[in-house]
Amino acid sequence: MRKTLIALLFAAALPTVAMAMPEGPGPMGPMDGPRHSEHMRGKGPFGQLDLSREQRQQIGKLMGEQMHDRKAVVEKYLEKLSPADQKAMKDELAAKQQKTQADIRALLKPEQQKEFDAIVKKQEERRAEWAEFKAWKAQQPQKAQ
């Protein structure tokens, strides 16, 4: 149970960390985030391997798959918690995320704060759209395959 909660806390903190990272396409295209390119160009464990562009793309794809697999495992164990524990955990994670966002915002210059606020708002809109889509999809009849 303790390991599950630690894993869930770690997984919930990742979006906050990602928000603090610079945006924009990297050398591998629009799907290349700063985390992948930095790890493969000298600042991470792959930096000293002199990887080709194709190798960086394949490693980036594998790292992305690992992230999604980890999230699926966290969700699987989250479902095993009681509804009260799930709500308590989600509320605690949301509070921690809001505090971290406030701390990050406090470090920024006024013009950066405006852009940060716009990014946060856009992410909230995307989450709301995604929740709406999931609710709509759950209401759709299952197609036989």
- What does the pLDDT look like over 4-46, one tens digit per residue? 656 555 566 656 555 555 444 444 444 444 554 554 455 677 7
Question: Is the pLDDT higher at 30 or at 61?
Answer: 61
Mean pLDDT across the stretch 47-75?
88
Q: Kindly report the number of other CB atoms within 10 A of residue 97's CB atom.
A: 15
Residue 19 and residue 119 in contact, taking contact as beta carbons nearer than 8 Å? yes
| Residue 116 domain-assigned (yes or no) | yes
Domain count, the chain: 1
| Residue 15 domain-assigned (yes or no) | no
Q: Which of 80, 63, 69, 66 is nearest to 4 (CA)?
A: 80
Torsions phi, psi for 29 (to 5 deg)? 110, -175
CA distance 121 to 115: 10
Instruction: Give me the half-sphere count of Cα atoms (radius 13 Å) on the Cβ side of residue 7.
Output: 15
For 66, the domain range is: 52-127
| Residue 113 domain-assigned (yes or no) | yes
Report whether pLDDT(51) > 70: yes
Looking at the DSSP bridge assignments, the partners of residue 42 are none
At 74-126, the pLDDT tens digits run 888 888 989 999 889 889 989 999 999 999 999 999 999 999 999 999 999 99
pLDDT in the model for residue 47: 75
At 128-140, the pLDDT tens digits run 999 999 999 999 8
pLDDT in the model for residue 30: 46
What would the two tokens of residue 52 be? Answer: 């080709």
pLDDT in the model for residue 11: 62
| Residue 19 domain-assigned (yes or no) | no
What would the two tokens of residue 8 be? Answer: 């869930």
